Chain A
Amino acid sequence: MIRLTTERFDPGAELTVFCAGRTESGAVASFVGIARGDAGATTALELEAYPGFTEVEIGRMAETAAKRFSLHDVLIVHRHGPIAPGEPIVMVATASAHRREAFEACDYLMDYLKSRAPFWKKQHGPAGPRWVEPTAQDLDDIARWE
C-alpha cells in the first residue's frame, strides 16, 4: 500500500498493522526516515509532491521491488508539506517468506525513493531556503541495483 500524507504518522502503529495476521510471511523489514535538524542548520523541511503522479510512480517502484524480491506485501508511507526536525518523513515496510528478501527490498526501495520519487525537497534554516537534489552518494546508491 502506498500512502502520501501531510499529517504526522506513527511508524510503530503502522508496523503493527502491517505485521498483523501474517501467517505466511516469515520476515518483515522496515525503515523509517526522520527529518534531521543538522544542529540547528535545518529548522524545517518542505516537500512538494505532484498529486496523481507521485503515488503512481512510487506504486511502480513498489511493484518492481515486489517482483524482484518476491515480496508478499509492501507498505510505503511518505509525508509531504512542512515537516519539523524529529518527525518521520518516510516509512518503508516489506514482507517476505525469509529475511534476506525483506532487508534487500527495503534498502532498494529507499535508494529509489531518495533519487527517483517525484518529490521536491526544500530545506529551511538560518542560511535561508535551499532546494535539495540527489547527492553523488544517492546516485551511487541507486547504481548498485542497475
Chain B
Amino acid sequence: MRVLLFGRLGDLAGWRERSFEPGPANLTALKALIAAQDAALGAALDGPGVQAAVDKTIVRGDCALAAGAEIAFLPPMSGG
C-alpha cells in the first residue's frame, strides 16, 4: 500500500511517499503504525483540519484498506 503526505505533513515527516508492505487492514491501524515510528507525525495526522483520502476519495472516521490502496493525508487546503 502507498501512503502519500502533502503540504506541511511531508516536510514534518521528511518523506512524501512510502510503501507499507504488508499494509495494515484499516486506517486506524495505519495511523497507529505511523505514530509508533514517528510520534510527531502521528500527532500531526490527528491534528485539526487534516483529512484522509483512500484511493482519492475523502473518508471520515475509520475505513478498511485493501492491500493495494493509496492513502493520502491532506492538511488544510489553500488554492488560488
Q: How many residues of B contact A (CB 8 A)?
A: 17
Interface residues of B (CB under 8 A from A): 4, 6-8, 10-11, 49, 53, 56, 72, 74-80
Give B58 Cβ to nearest chain A Cβ, in Å: 9
Q: List 12 A-B contacts (CB under 8 A).
A: A48-B7, A50-B72, A113-B80, A115-B76, A117-B77, A118-B77, A118-B79, A119-B78, A121-B78, A121-B79, A131-B8, A138-B78
Which A108-146 residues sit within 8 Å CB-CB of chain B?
A: 110, 113-122, 131-134, 138
User: Interface on A for B, CB 8 Å cutoff?
Assistant: 33, 47-48, 50, 52-53, 56, 78, 89-90, 110, 113-122, 131-134, 138
Residue of chain B at shortest CB distance from A122: B7
Quick one: closest B residue to A138, CB to CB? Answer: B78
